[in-house]
Amino acid sequence: MSQFPDIEPMVYHSKINVPYRWWAGNTASRFYAALRDEKIIMGTKCPACGRVFVPPRKACPTCFTENMQWVELSDEGCVLSFTVARRQFAAIPKNRKTPVIWGLIKLDGADTALLHYIDEIAPENVTIGMRVRAVFAATRTGAIQDIAHFQPIK
Amino acid sequence: MDRAAIIGVGMTKIEKNKVRETFADMAWEAVNKALNDAGMTIDDIDNVVTASSDFWDGRTISCMAVGDASGAAHKNVSCVEGDGAYGALYGMARCLSGSYKTTLVTGHSKGSEGVSSLITNAAFDPIYERALGMDMVTACAMQARSYMHRTGTTPEQLALVSVKNHGNALKNPLAQLPLQITVQDVLTSAMIADPLHKLDCSPVSDGCAAVIIAHESVAEQFRQKPVWIRGVSFCADSFFFGDRDLSRARALAEAAKQAYAQAGIKEPQKEIDVVELHDAFTYQELLWLEEMGLASEATAGKLLEKGEFDLDGRLPVNASGGLLSGHPVIAAGLYSLASVVRQIRGDAGGFQARKAKTGLAHGVNGLAGQSHCVFILDRDK
């Protein structure tokens, strides 16, 4: 294709680095306040279909209704699926070393699953359906990392 | 309702790293190939739709950078942020609107120039999920696990998708990664994110594809016999991962159902001759086939083993080599469309299927198939 086969291709290196701040809004702020201050995982229940969502929402995505009721969920649940990163992908936080295990965890009392880490277990021992419990971070700031990870229930 | 047809297609070779072509250079090549294919000049095009992604391109309003090379000067030009299949749907809608007759649709990206893991991580919700560090590969690995658990599909069956599609690519000069490999090669390639090995994953790729869509009133005025769009639909599932049954793709089932109904297809397994679908990862080919009703529930892996989806099988799937053999994100859906168009015209060269009257092309947006777009194309109007 090239009209100039003897031209040496050059490359321009750069980096896009834009600070952002995403206000969490009333719903996620309440979820994170409960997590930070009381180590409680809250969900929202749709008054129409009765489904309980975690992470919580302002409106039910299925029924398109508001007036969600807050409900307290168990910090225990079961693993719906999981994966294990075997490479240090660029998106993995620097303080996490491979193998990193993520799970979709359906907490008792919830109808949807929460995405989080599974730890304190060898990757080959994780199974779909296994029971896990939230381990809360010692220092909590109002973020998803206020749950450090989920551990297997012995 | 009025009908629209695809009357020209153009694709660059898919490559690992196009060091001699910028985004605009790739668009220039694909657009001119499509115009030549159609027997048109740029003056025969009355409007343009480009598909691109700002994050992948590393620039704001990325579509603006390819307009000139797409011949959009003095024309009505619009853009789609997402897979090119959605750009084609938009282009078709413009032709059917009564305002336009001929839409040029392009889609491009250069995976080689960014960092896929960071770009796809940014697709996760910043408040609840992003900080956990998942990306497209780990998201899809989780879906692969769910699908295998529900259906009993085996790692060997996943690997066979890779063997078949890389093998098909040997017959497609535009493919990036033609490979003659075995199931064992796939299973012994490095584990990337369980249960996906390196050869279960599509490569990082650069490429651009263009298609020209025409209203029926002008579709037969140019060089090619039109390939008619008989049905098209797209549906999206929940954004939050944990809301979805990840082992399924309900949005795809719905989109396919609607597209079949438009096309008057009652028995897709019998009436569709060729399929090009979004096989960014091996398991996806099997899951998508089942959700589209092209294989019965939990049987796609077994049918694959019987050779049904081979180039000379009952229903050739990804005869071009698919995305496993070259995956320019955003352009992907247009490559699928263009490959099906070539099949139906009998122009597919080495990867021509024996029977190709009716074809299905498929595009995906979002993490682990959140949104699906299904086109039914046909030789007959």
Domains, in order of start, for chain B: 4-115+204-221 (3.40.47.10)
CB contact under 8 A, B142 and A81: yes
Q: Does A151 touch chain B (CB under 8 A)?
A: no
A123/B contact by beta carbon, under 8 A? yes
- Interior CA angle at A133 toward B238 and B244, to 5°? 10
- Region B136-155: what's the mean pLDDT? 98
Question: Are B118 and A128 within 8 A, CB to CB?
Answer: no
Chosen for mutation from A115, A119, A149 (greatest number of chain B CBs closer than 10 Å) is A115
The residue to which tokens 């080959």 are assigned = A124
Alpha helices (runs of H) in chain B, residue ranges in sequence order? 23-38, 54-57, 84-96, 116-121, 136-151, 155-169, 183-188, 250-263, 268-271, 282-291, 300-305, 332-345
Name the residue with higher pLDDT: B241 or B358: B358
Is B238 within 8 Å of chain A by CB?
A: yes
How confident is residue B190, by pLDDT bands cut at 50, 70 and 90?
Answer: very high
Mutation for testing the A interface, residue in B17, B54, B132 having most A CBs under 10 Å: B132
Q: What is the ipTM of this complex?
A: 0.95
Count interface pairs A-B at CB distance under 8 A: 120
How far A74 CA lies from chain B's nearest CA (Å)? 16
Q: Which of B26, B124, B127, B206 to mutate to test the interface with A (most CBs of A within 10 A)?
A: B127
Interface of B with A in 91-120 (CB under 8 A): 115, 117-118, 120
Q: How many CB atoms lie within 10 A of CB B190?
A: 9
Contacting residues of A for B19, CB less than 8 Å apart? 9, 11
For residue A62, what pLDDT is reported?
A: 87
Please check the confidence at residue A4 and state whether its pLDDT lies above 80: no
pLDDT of residue A67: 83
Can the peptide bond before residue A99 be classed as cis, meaning omega within 30 degrees of 0?
yes
Residues in A touching B145 (Cβ below 8 Å): 81-83, 128
Residue A147 at interface with chain B, using a CB cutoff of 8 Å: no
Check residue B4 and give left, alpha or beta (phi > 0: left; psi -120 to 50: alpha).
beta
pLDDT range class, residue A6, cuts 50, 70, 90: confident
Residue A2: per-residue pLDDT: 55
DSSP B233-279: EEEE--SSGGGS-TT--HHHHHHHHHHHHHHT-S-HHHH--EEE---
Give yes or no for residue B202 having a pLDDT over 90: yes
Contact list in B for residue A61 (CB cut-off 8 A) is: 238-240, 243
What are the pLDDT digits (tens) for B264-298? 999 999 999 999 999 999 999 999 999 999 999 99
> In the predicted model, is pLDDT for residue B365 greater than 90?
yes
